Amino acid sequence: MAPLHSDSDRGDGSVRYVLTGDGAGTIFKIDEKSGDIHATKRLDREEKAYYILYAKAINRFTNAALEGQSEFIIKIHDINDNEPKFTRDPYTAQVPEMSDIGTSVIQVTATDADDATYGNSARVVYSILEGQPYFSVDPETALSSRRRKSGGLVKTALPGMDREVKENYQVVIQAKDMAGQMGGLSGTTTVSITLSDVNDNPPRFTKTLYEFRVPESLEPGSVVGVVRALDADIGENAQMDYRIIGSDGPGVFEIAANRSTQDGVIVLRKPLDFEKKQQFGLRLQVENVHINPRFFSMGPFRDEASVKITVEDVDELPVFERPSYIMEVKEDAPKNTVLGSVSASDPDDKRSPIRVDSPYKPRFWYTIDWRTDMDRVFNVHAGNGSVYVLRQLDREDNAWHNISVMATEFNNPQQVSRVPVYVRVLDVNDNAPAFATNYETFVCENAKANQVLVSREPQEEEERIQTISATDPDEPLAGHRFFFSLAQEAAGKANFSVRDNKDGDFPMQSSTNTLTIRVCSCDREGNMKLCNAEALTARAGLSTGALVAILLCVLILL
């Protein structure tokens, strides 16, 4: 560095030079005798660009100042001693696949600590060391009146880059100072570039024909099978919808996409019947949900496939030809009287009735579910299904019988069907009429002849003593016509008579009932005063105490 010299210095050694300020004594030292200033270590402009120092000359012996203090500014001149450094390392970026050439990917930036105002030490130029021919980088920043061009902008350099072919790229970018000239310093960084997906691939079925086999007993709502289509895209670009575009069984099946697997799930919607249809054919279509119009030219984003569904026969339960049977039988029918017959068929073979094929090789048989006929009133022929009576019936005891007849497959006894059989017991006139209740009345001992015992009629002056009614459990339950008369043992006594009202037909059933009549003393108005208690047990003849009249009650059938 330039020496410091005072005009008072005559070279006799009486002058001493002193240095103070930034770095004095550490970075910078001064020769006390000559005034020469020296740097004691390497200077770095990037750490400190200049130093301010103060120097003065004093008398060595008296320390008196010989001149005023002088200020020195030492400015460090820059040299290219710093390489460019990127602000990040590494960089990560994404760019859509199939992007056009020149699509911006990412801006990388390198800085140089050297003085940008002095030479080219800080003038950085960018270049790609690895990653060509796929990507390029703008070499440097240029300013003009029209536009500003940023150096370090990474762009696509190749058209139609396909993520499905190559997804990840490692691009090494160099930043070199001295405007990229020889001798310049450089730094590098890596940019990890991922091609993001676009919907540029259609879905494709893994097969052109899918085949499934299902039992005819499959319940509606059950899964028939799963078809699969693959799409090279990912995420929502790979989402697809399935639909049935053709079927020889409309409405029997439906298909829906499983969003987690993107498979097509075929589901049964209507019951199957092997005896009606053994095979179904479907035509399926799969199509992307999100279609990018930009790639329409690459072809339709859909695919088609066929499905063959075979229905397998299942050993089904026998089926009766009717859901229920109603049979009738008279209550006086003798044992083994046939009421009717039931018939069932095997759905597995419409021509096969549920009967005994031969005495040696039975296939099916009919039985009565004895839980519905605990009294063992009926039975059924195992082979032909004829239902018959086992014992005497009584309509008045039970007018209807509800039984179940079972059809059982011989080779598989678990295959059992039941049908309700309602048996109506028809009425026959097998019950005689009887008094509705036990009648007991009285008559005054002075009663006149021809006095009616039953009720008072306006046209008659006599009083009726008692109304007599009868019942019959046979049908019809209402509207019976009865004929009343005295029994033979009472008819021989002239004390009472029965008047025929002439409203009945020829009697079919008859019974004998007892009417007890007390003979009592009465006042003038006919009110009872006293009856002989002993007469209550009298069974023959008319006395002053009581009379037992035996009447013959005859039912007239309408």
Instruction: Inform me whether the pLDDT recorded for 95 exceeds 60.
Output: yes
At 45, which CATH number?
2.60.40.60
Give mean pLDDT, residues 192-197: 97
Which amino acid type is present at position 503?
D
Q: Please check whether residues 154 and 213 belong to one and the same domain.
A: no
Instruction: Inform me whether the pLDDT recorded for 465 exceeds 70.
Output: no
pLDDT at site 147: 40
* Bond from prior residue into 347 cis (ω within 30 degrees of 0): no
Q: Please check whether residues 444 and 344 belong to one and the same domain.
A: no
Instruction: Inform me whether the pLDDT recorded for 214 exceeds 90.
Output: yes
2 inside domain:
no
Dump pLDDT digits (tens) for 248-266: 989 999 999 999 999 999 9
User: Do the beta carbons of residue 312 and residue 274 sit within 8 Å?
Assistant: yes
Between residues 189 and 12, the one the model is more confident about:
189
Between residues 330 and 6, the one the model is more confident about:
330
Which amino acid type is present at position 47?
E
Give mean pLDDT, residues 85-91: 92
**Total domains present in the chain:** 5
Please state, in angstroms and rounded to a whole number, the distance separating the CA atoms of residues 379 and 353: 20
Instruction: Inform me whether the pLDDT recorded for 494 exceeds 60.
Output: no
pLDDT band at 202 (very low <50, low <70, confident <90, very high): very high
Three-class secondary structure assignment of 356-389: CCCCCCCCEEEEECHHHCCCCCEEECCCCCEEEE
Q: Please check whether residues 443 and 539 belong to one and the same domain.
A: yes
Give mean pLDDT, residues 477-506: 61
CA atoms within 13 A on the CB side of 29: 7
Q: Please check whether residues 335 and 411 belong to one and the same domain.
A: yes
Question: Dmax over Cα atoms in the chain, in whole Å?
Answer: 199
Dump pLDDT digits (tens) for 147-158: 444 578 999 999
The stretches of 204-281 forming alpha helices (DSSP H) are: none
7 inside domain:
no
Q: Please check whether residues 458 and 517 belong to one and the same domain.
A: yes
Q: Please check whether residues 376 and 464 belong to one and the same domain.
A: no
User: Do the beta carbons of residue 105 and residue 137 sit within 8 Å?
Assistant: no
Q: Please check whether residues 223 and 272 belong to one and the same domain.
A: yes
Residues in the chain, how many? 558
Q: Please check whether residues 225 and 277 belong to one and the same domain.
A: yes
The conformation of residue 65, written as its DSSP 8-state character, comes to: B
pLDDT at site 513: 67
452 inside domain:
yes
Give mean pLDDT, residues 124-130: 94
Burial status of residue 367 (CB atoms within 10 A of its CB: 0-12, 13-18, 19 or more): middle
Q: Please check whether residues 367 and 420 belong to one and the same domain.
A: yes
Between residues 27 and 140, the one the model is more confident about:
27
φ, ψ of residue 293 to 5 degrees: the values are -60, -25
Instruction: Inform me whether the pLDDT recorded for 55 exceeds 50.
Output: yes
pLDDT band at 523 (very low <50, low <70, confident <90, very high): confident
9 inside domain:
no
pLDDT at site 508: 56
Please state, in angstroms and rounded to a whole number, the distance separating the CA atoms of residues 152 and 137: 6
Q: Please check whether residues 212 and 297 belong to one and the same domain.
A: yes
pTM equals 0.55
Mean pLDDT of the chain: 81
Considering Cα of 414, then 419, then 420, then 425, what sign does the dihedral take? negative
pLDDT at site 452: 54
pLDDT over 70 for what percent of the chain? Answer: 79
- Of 312, 336, 371, which residue sits at a domain end? 312
pLDDT at site 142: 42
102 inside domain:
yes
Give mean pLDDT, residues 13-26: 85
pLDDT at site 145: 35
User: Do the beta carbons of residue 485 and residue 551 sit within 8 Å?
Assistant: yes
> Strand, coil or helix: what is 436?
coil
Q: Please check whether residues 420 and 341 belong to one and the same domain.
A: yes
Give mean pLDDT, residues 84-103: 94
331 inside domain:
yes
∠ CA 351-354-358, nearest 5°, is 95
Secondary structure element (H or E) that encloses residue 491, with its range: helix 488-491
pLDDT band at 63 (very low <50, low <70, confident <90, very high): confident
User: Do the beta carbons of residue 156 and residue 169 sit within 8 Å?
Assistant: no
User: Do the beta carbons of residue 337 and residue 388 sit within 8 Å?
Assistant: yes
Between residues 416 and 515, the one the model is more confident about:
416
pLDDT band at 287 (very low <50, low <70, confident <90, very high): very high
CA atoms within 13 A on the CB side of 94: 5
- Of 144, 166, 196, which residue sits at a domain end? 196
Between residues 505 and 88, the one the model is more confident about:
88
Question: Strand 240-247 and strand 279-288: pairing?
Answer: antiparallel
User: Which of the given ranges, 22-26, 177-181, 193-197, 410-414, has the highest pLDDT on average?
Assistant: 193-197
6 inside domain:
no
pLDDT band at 500 (very low <50, low <70, confident <90, very high): low
- Of 178, 196, 214, which residue sits at a domain end? 196
Q: Please check whether residues 302 and 215 belong to one and the same domain.
A: yes
Q: What are the percentages of helix, strand and coil residues in the chain, rounded to 5?
A: 5, 45, 55
Burial status of residue 532 (CB atoms within 10 A of its CB: 0-12, 13-18, 19 or more): middle
Which amino acid type is present at position 406?
M
Give mean pLDDT, residues 430-446: 74
Expressed as residue numbers, the domain containing 221 is 204-312
130 inside domain:
yes
pLDDT at site 197: 96
